[in-house]
Amino acid sequence: MTDNFRGSLWMLLAMLGFGLEDAFFKLATSSVSAGMGTVIFGLLALAICIAVARSRQVPLWHPAYLRRGLLIRTGFEILGRLFFALSLAYTPLSTTSAILQAAPLMVMLGAAIVLGETIGPRRWIAMAVGFAGVMLIIRPSPAGIEPNAVFALLGMIGFAGRDLATRTAPPEVHSAQLGLLGFAVVTFAGLVILCFEPGAPTLPDMRAATLLCGTATCGVVGYTALTAAMRAGEVSVVAPFRYSRLIVALIIAVTVFGERPDILTLTGAALIMASGIYSLWRDGLRQRT
């Protein structure tokens, strides 16, 4: 088995894990608030990550957590986690997942503006096509953008900023430590949401608690598999398999939640996927020449 094939399998597992994580969380928020659900999800995943880090003898604290680069990364992850949780709770899963797929395009745009990376005209056109796909999904009108769609859009921007900041993360920070930091951020984002929710916080019932356990387990599996994927194969080969998350999400949205994405949503999702895969393919060609 080649490294690229192994990496592709890890990426497929990661996207399956993240797709199930989203579904479990959305099911849980039918009986628990988005804020409380996010807090419990974060704490459970954090407990799993601590156990994993201890088993690998990785320190839980690293001084680099307080460096400028990781603080910026943490800020963007708070933005992403906060609004992505709200989007999962209040927006159709198919819409949320489709908009999230534009994050790699935003990362490329940020790399050009912030890091000074060179992007050719074909990749600029591909990014424009991808963002046209986002517009097809959120469909802004003269009255503005539908409020719940803004949650997914802001969540996507937050995750794109996090991924861009990860490129500058200190290499001495272990991937397990980044996972600890990430799920600590999930917990903090949940506390922020709780502060703005009406009424007193209530604990989940047994059904919601079980679903949140599934959310945390799938989230840690997805994160771990994603790390293994990016280390096993070439990024240009492995990264396009990220878009399998949208396929998983659409299947779950239709079979579990009874959603029926319309033709504009499906067209927008296809444009986002095609533009992202093309951009990654062009990047692979550039690296080989």
Confidence of residue 285 (pLDDT cuts 50, 70, 90): low
Q: Compute how many other C-beta atoms are within 10 angstroms of the C-beta atom of residue 61.
A: 10
Q: How far apart are CA 279 and CA 273, in angstroms?
A: 10
Q: With 80 as the cut, is the pLDDT of residue 143 above it? A: no
What is the mean predicted confidence (pLDDT) over 245-268?
A: 90
96: left (phi over 0), alpha (psi -120 to 50) or beta: alpha
Could you give the CA distance from residue 8 to residue 235 in angstroms, rounded to a whole number? 10
| Cβ–Cβ < 8 Å for 93, 252 | yes
Q: Which tokens go with 153?
A: 């859009």
Give CA–CA dist 130/268, Å, rounded.
8
The sign of the dihedral angle between the CA atoms of 288, 246, 206, 203 is positive
Q: What is the per-residue pLDDT across 48-63, written as a single tens digit (0 to 9) for each? A: 999 989 998 999 998 8
Band of the pLDDT at 286, cuts 50, 70, 90? low
Note the pTM of the prediction, 2 decimals: 0.83
Given a cut of 90, whether residue 163 has pLDDT beyond it is: no
Alpha carbon distance 251, 248 (integer Å):
5
Contact 121, 103 (CB under 8 A): no
Structure confidence at residue 146 as a pLDDT band (50, 70, 90): low
